[in-house]
């Protein structure tokens, strides 16, 4: 059983991933957390203490398969971040595709911090992927688990509108050469979501001041960071930390 001794002096942004917690353990954790916290959205957790917000930092099929049923049964709100380049299609983020070419074909072994490089420079990443496709062929998608790919836009309808908050997952770092692509992606995601998107997340653990300023101009109000810990009164919405939920019980998942 999980125990939280922080009480209402803080809030928690509960990030969930099937690779670290099962459906059974999630249900148990949420029941325990619900004794101390009120469940709400990421926006509510940023404004009030005593809130626990369940977040899908990536809208992958595995999240829906494992976690939608217990969240619906428990009537828990959820904040889901959508990746505009990958949702609804059989493709993965550029940095992840490059990492898969390294894993399956031994490509790019000379490049340090491969995923960081791809995140920082989309043109470089696209050129390397084109080279890899020409040399090795397409990625062996048939060898990847189908739930690794991203969900569909219509899957967002599995949640009642009042229980769903939608955020935007940055496909790349915020750089002048990326701005046109990012703006088009924001417009596309907002149109598909049929509501304004106020929260953003991405591969970078934190943002610098210029990146925050750019996102504020695009209408965003906060960033789900890669930092860990509870959210306290002094926490900036642009440095929202995560509280990753992980398996805590030694028993086998009975499902």
Residues 128-166: pLDDT tens digits? Answer: 999 999 999 999 988 899 999 999 999 888 888 899 999
- What pLDDT, on a 0 to 100 scale, did the predictor assign at position 46? 96
Enumerate domains of the chain plus CATH numbers: 7-89+150-244 (3.20.20.370), 94-143 (no CATH)
Could you tell me the pTM of the whole model? 0.90
- What pLDDT, on a 0 to 100 scale, did the predictor assign at position 248? 56
- What pLDDT, on a 0 to 100 scale, did the predictor assign at position 55? 96
- What pLDDT, on a 0 to 100 scale, did the predictor assign at position 30? 93
CA-CA distance, 83 to 169, in Å (whole number)?
5
Sign of CA dihedral 173, 175, 181, 186: positive
Q: Block means of pLDDT (10 residues each) for the chain, length 255 residues? A: 58 92 90 93 95 94 88 92 92 94 94 95 96 94 90 88 94 97 97 94 96 98 97 96 78 36
- What pLDDT, on a 0 to 100 scale, did the predictor assign at position 105? 95
């Amino acid at each position: 059983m999980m125990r939280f001794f922080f009480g209402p002096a803080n809030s928690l942004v509960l990030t969930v991933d099937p690779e670290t917690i099962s459906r059974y353990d999630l249900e148990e954790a949420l029941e325990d957390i619900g004794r101390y916290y009120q469940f709400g959205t990421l926006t509510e957790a940023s404004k009030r203490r005593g809130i626990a917000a369940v977040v899908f930092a990536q809208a992958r099929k595995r999240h829906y398969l494992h976690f939608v049923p217990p969240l619906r049964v428990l009537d828990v709100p959820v904040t889901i971040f959508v990746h505009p380049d990958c949702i609804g299609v059989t493709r993965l983020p550029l940095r992840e595709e490059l990492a898969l070419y390294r894993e399956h074909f031994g490509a790019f072994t000379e490049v340090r911090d491969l995923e960081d490089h791809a995140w920082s420079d989309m043109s470089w990443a696209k050129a390397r992927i084109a080279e890899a496709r020409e040399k090795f062929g397409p990625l062996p998608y048939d060898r990847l688990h189908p739930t690794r790919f991203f969900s569909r836009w219509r899957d967002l309808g599995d949640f009642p509108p009042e229980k769903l908050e939608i955020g935007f997952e940055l496909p790349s770092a915020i750089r002048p050469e990326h701005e046109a692509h990012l703006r088009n992606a924001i417009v596309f995601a907002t149109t598909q979501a049929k509501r304004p998107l106020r929260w953003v997340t991405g591969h970078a653990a934190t943002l610098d001041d210029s990146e925050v300023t750019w996102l504020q101009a695009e209408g965003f109000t906060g960033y789900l960071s890669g930092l860990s810990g509870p959210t306290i009164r002094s926490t900036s919405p642009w440095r929202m930390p995560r509280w990753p939920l992980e398996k805590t019980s030694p028993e086998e998942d009975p499902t």
